[in-house]
Amino acid sequence: MGINLDQALQTFIVEARELLQAMEQSLLQLESDPDDQDALGAIFRAAHTIKGSAGLFGLGSIVGFTHIVEDVLDRLREGSVAVDAALIALLLKCGDHMLELIDVVASRGEAPSPAALARDEALREALSAYQTLRTATADAAPAVLADDAQADVLWHISLRFGVDVFRNGMDPLSFLRYLETLGQMVQVTTLTDSIPALEHWDPESCYLGFEIDLRSTASQATLVEVFDFVRDDCEVHIQAVDETPDSDVPSNSGVATGNDLIVAHAEQDSAPAPAQRLPANTEAKTRDGSYVRVNADKLDALINLVGELVIASAGASLLARACDNDPLQEATSTVSGLVEDILDGALHLRMVPIGETFNRFRRVVRDVSQELGKDIELIIDGADTELDKTVVEKIGDPLMHLLRNAMDHGIESAEARRAAGKPSKGHLSLNAYHDSGSIVIEIADDGAGLDRERILAKAQERGLVASGAVLTDQEVYNLIFEAGFSTAEAVTNLSGRGVGMDVVKRNITLLRGTVDLDSRPGQGTLVRIRLPLTLAIINGFLVGIDQSTYVIPLDMVQECIELDDRQRQSGRDQGYLDLRGEVLPLVDLRDHFDHEGPPARRQNVVVVRYAEHKAGLVVDDLHGEFQTVIKPLGKLFGALRGISGSTILGSGAVALILDVPALLNQLVQLEARTAQAPQSPTPSAR
């Protein structure tokens, strides 16, 4: 029966990627502080663990390349090679190549591409220069190194595999094959004393044991790491054998000297901990044995089920109220409270610190600043701030674009900065914090800032702003996010600050987020992104038109106003309302969604705001606040404008969730097209 290694291999791939990410962060740390021994130790452990784990799966290309990297890192640790910018750059490229080799395994590739093989050869050659350097040093000082060198030792390894090793996806023989790469197998005895009688034999159970004599220069700790993957399923005794001639014990059995190292079941606290299999920055998690790796799809399925539970609970509460039965209402109220707690707990399972995303930008800032010939430092704050994993994954690209833009066009060259009386080193900061149920991410630079008048003139030329409109500074700066603003001419005039900014805004809007920008000429620019903590639930405000119900995201609702007859008539005629002296454009949702029949006798306006835009949504009824689970629209409704999703009410009715940013953008575009004179309503109502 073949052994399925898929599950164990997938674990290796996930953990190897995490280790490489940790290795990259530690290399960047080492670049800024060459004496940081903790960072150097973390880099070495990452490479060492990847090599050992890859050996268990027979991944020769990864083992061979990583072995050379590990050798150079070992020389770094002992001081025979010094940390310099060239070596850090080389090791970062080696990390990239190792990730590429891991990706080949993940995609079931037979072998790396020709380009990857060429890179492999070039990197090996570059690494060999540092190995040669060590050799020259060794020739100069043989006596010093002789003391440190690990002599050949005969080790006796007594190995008993647990019965569940096969079921856990491991091949016992792979461990023996890997031991062969660490030295010479002098003798291997297969133990059969655990094999049961034929009638009790279970073909899925493992009854194997081995007694092994291994001659190797490897340390005891290195041998322990070989069994890292099965440390909970097997028992291993590792002993150094005394080979002195006057020993009375037969040579093939050996005599234990020093410590008898036992790697047994997890409850044996006296056993030394094997080398980490997780990144260095998760040491606390490794020590705490209560962490479990869960597939993200399973979490999504759980949250979906909890969402259905919320809806069912709301329906049960409605029925209980209709029954006029106090004990029943009390019971459903208790269930509703518990369901809310379950929803909250389930959503928190998917929360991750944004620092994991922020840290990935350290490499980007390093590489781009070197490419541009600028000295730029990245400062990170609020890395522990948590938000939904799905939001983290989708915000990465917009953040990358904003950071590159700030480095390329915001921060000046060292010469220009010195001429302006600023330090030659530019500063780029990433900050995250929670604010009233949302997460705010700020990207700030201390560069040249934006030219307000040039932006305004360009926007008026393109018809994005009515001629003569009075806008605040922030409203002017936010115009660079408008579609149609980024053109070749704008790139020249604005040093490229507007390139692709409309795409950034669109991606953030798809996450139900907002983005705005503030700038001070000569001092820098600040981009502020506000996002919901999760995409799975929404705090909404329920409104009604005829018998239909709509949900408006609560964080965009500012106030509600009841319309009198005069306001209704003027609003219909002019398309806007005088709100305490402020021009408020109106969107009649009855007309917008083509509801049939006459309008209700009483109508209300819900004042909503998104970024610098503000408008009033005309509705029939106000039903109040409501926390609801979002159901995405199917592909059939993908092109539907003004609707971002749906939910199911306790009554079983479907309510559509309004896409307020899209509604307001439609309004702005309409206003911009119809604006003829300064008296016309401006597209950005204050």
**Region 93-109 average pLDDT:** 89
- CB of 579 closer than 8 Å to CB of 616: yes
630 burial level (CB within 10 Å; 0-12, 13-18, 19+): buried
Q: Which of 216-225, 246-255, 339-348, 455-464 has the lowest mean pLDDT?
A: 246-255
Which tokens in the block code for residue 116? 């990857």
Nearest-angstrom CA–CA distance, 239 and 586: 82
Q: Do domains 6-135 and 352-532 have the same CATH topology?
A: no
Cα dihedral 539, 544, 547, 551 in deg (nearest 10): -20
Residues with Cβ within 8 Å of residue 613, at least 6 apart in sequence: 664, 665, 667, 668, 683, 684, 685
Give pLDDT, residue 405: 87
pTM here is 0.62
Judged on CB neighbours under 10 Å (0-12, 13-18, 19+), 132 is exposed
Q: What are the sequence ranges of the domains in the chain? A: 6-135, 153-276, 352-532, 537-674
pLDDT band at 674 (very low <50, low <70, confident <90, very high): low
For 203-240, the pLDDT digits (tens) are 888 888 899 999 888 888 788 877 776 767 788 888 88
The average pLDDT across 295-314 equals 85
Give the span between the Cα atoms of 367 and 364, in whole angstroms: 5
In CATH, 352-532 is 3.30.565.10: yes
426 has pLDDT over 70: yes
Decide the pairing of beta strands 153-161 and 209-216.
Answer: antiparallel
| 378-381 contacts at long range (C-beta below 8 A, 24 or more positions apart) | 378/428, 378/429, 378/430, 379/427, 379/428, 379/429, 379/430, 380/355, 380/429, 380/430, 380/431, 381/429, 381/430, 381/431, 381/432
Which has more confidence, 107 or 415? 415
DSSP states along 640-675? -TTEEEEEE-TTS-EEEEE-HHHHHHHHHHHHHHH-
CA–CA separation, 14 vs 50, rounded Å? 11
Helix H or strand E segment including 135? helix 114-140
Q: What is the pLDDT of residue 182?
A: 82
- Residue 525 structure tokens: 């620019």
What is the chain's mean pLDDT, rounded?
79
**pLDDT for 334:** 94
Say yes or no to pLDDT of 679 above 50.
no
Query: What's the pLDDT tens digit per position in 115-158?
Result: 888 898 899 989 988 876 544 444 443 333 333 345 688 999 99
Q: How far apart are CA 21 and CA 359, in angstroms?
A: 9
CATH class of the domain comprising 153-276: alpha beta
Report pLDDT for 536: 76
Question: Distance between CA 433 and CA 383 in Å, rounded?
Answer: 9
Distance CA 115, CA 230 (A): 36
* Alpha carbons within 13 A on the beta-carbon side of 316: 17
- The rounded distance, in Å, linking the Cα atoms of 2 and 548 is 59
For the segment 539-587, what is each residue's pLDDT rounded down to a tens digit? Answer: 889 999 988 899 998 888 999 988 877 777 776 767 788 888 888 888 8
**Cβ atoms of 271 and 262 closer than 8 Å:** yes
What's the fold here for domain 6-135? Four Helix Bundle (Hemerythrin (Met), subunit A) (1.20.120)
Euclidean distance between CA atoms 511 and 645, whole angstroms: 12
537-674 maps to CATH 3.30.420.10: no
Output the pLDDT for position 493.
37
Mean pLDDT of 254-276: 38
**pLDDT digit string (tens) for 577-618?**
888 888 888 888 888 888 887 777 788 999 998 766 788 999
Higher local confidence (pLDDT), 497 or 331: 331
Region 83-100 average pLDDT:
92
Tokens of 117: 């093989």
